[in-house]
Amino acid sequence: MGLIGGSMAKAIKQKTDHTVFGWDGSENVRFSAKLAEAVHDILEEGNPSNCDLVLIALYPGATVDYVKKFASQFKKGAMVVDCAGIKRSVCQPLQEVAAQNGFIFCGAHPMAGIERSGFTYSTPDLFEGATMILTPYTGTDIAPMNELSFFFKSLGFAKMQVATDAEHDQMIAYTSQLAHVVSSAYIKSELSPKFKGFSAGSFHDMTRVAKLNETMWTELFLDNSDFLADEIDGLIKRLQVYSKAIREKDGDKLKAILKEGKEKRLAVDDIKEFE
């Protein structure tokens, strides 16, 4: 029950009539969740055997381990959903496990978060207006997926986006992971300690997500290494075009590529996220 799991628990308890059982490896977090009334009760040793819906908010590898450990304990027909930020490394190892043990597994990725982590910063309003990405297996019955969509909308999500696990990972490499890599690299300039008095919003925007959880993001990056490395290499090539034009004082070229970037951004503004 960190930022995502804790926020899920609080949102479900406050906004729905479901009975919420929680679990965390930390006794302090379990105690805090009870004290904050984020859950009705704590699962015994994390065993989900009596739950109709199980939301797993762990790192990818730990998610796979948890599902395999309790595979035979899940209620038949239960919906098991993971909330990890990468999908192939979670969904692919668990497809056969779910089929063999009679529960439904669906990958999910709540597109919400802040720069801080842990139960302390969890909030029931974290998902208000956000998108939830679902990555069900091909052939999954539509009825439980519809039910799952309505459930997440009851927590504040404004849109459900359905994708394959590979489509998800490729897009997330660009829209999320690359931004974290760029922010981390950008703040390492030798000039960064001297920013005071010389910065406006752009500096803070560029460096905001450098305040990441390095343990979690290392696993996410490495689990998506193919797509993410391609995006990094592509960005480097595009930056080299800018560098060359500036070093050569090629005003026409620089103006053209800046105009191209502006037009790309304006085109993004025209896309209505929640029509």
The pLDDT value given to residue 250: 98
| CA pair distance 132, 155, nearest whole angstrom | 11
Q: What is the band of 93 on the pLDDT scale with cuts at 50, 70, 90?
A: very high
Q: What is the band of 146 on the pLDDT scale with cuts at 50, 70, 90?
A: very high
pTM of the predicted protein model? 0.91
Instruction: Quickly list DSSP for 199-230.
Output: --HHHHHHHGGGS--HHHHHHHHHHTHHHHHH
The first and second tokens of residue 138, run together, are 């091909």
For domain 169-269, the CATH class is mainly alpha
**Segments of the chain assigned to CATH 1.10.3660.10:** 169-269
- DSSP secondary structure letter of residue 25: S
- In a 13 Å sphere around the CA of 41, the CA atoms on its Cβ side amount to 9
The pLDDT value given to residue 243: 98
pLDDT in tens, 55-76: 999 999 999 999 999 999 999 9
pLDDT in tens, 167-201: 999 999 999 999 999 999 999 999 999 998 898 88
The pLDDT value given to residue 273: 63
| Mean predicted confidence (pLDDT) in 46-59 | 94
Q: What is the band of 17 on the pLDDT scale with cuts at 50, 70, 90?
A: very high
Please check the confidence at residue 274 and state whether its pLDDT lies above 80.
Answer: no
Q: Does domain 3-163 have CATH number 1.10.150.120?
A: no
* 104-111 vs 131-136, strand pairing mode: antiparallel
Please check the confidence at residue 272 and state whether its pLDDT lies above 80.
Answer: no
Average pLDDT, the chain: 94
The pLDDT value given to residue 201: 87
pLDDT in tens, 197-241: 898 889 999 999 999 999 999 999 999 999 999 999 999 999 999
| Mean predicted confidence (pLDDT) in 270-275 | 63
The pLDDT value given to residue 261: 96
Instruction: Quickly list DSSP for 79-123.
Output: EEEE--S--HHHHHHHHHHHHHHT-EEEEEEEE---S--SGGG--
- In a 13 Å sphere around the CA of 53, the CA atoms on its Cβ side amount to 17
**Segments of the chain assigned to CATH 3.40.50.720:** 3-163
Please check the confidence at residue 20 and state whether its pLDDT lies above 90.
Answer: yes
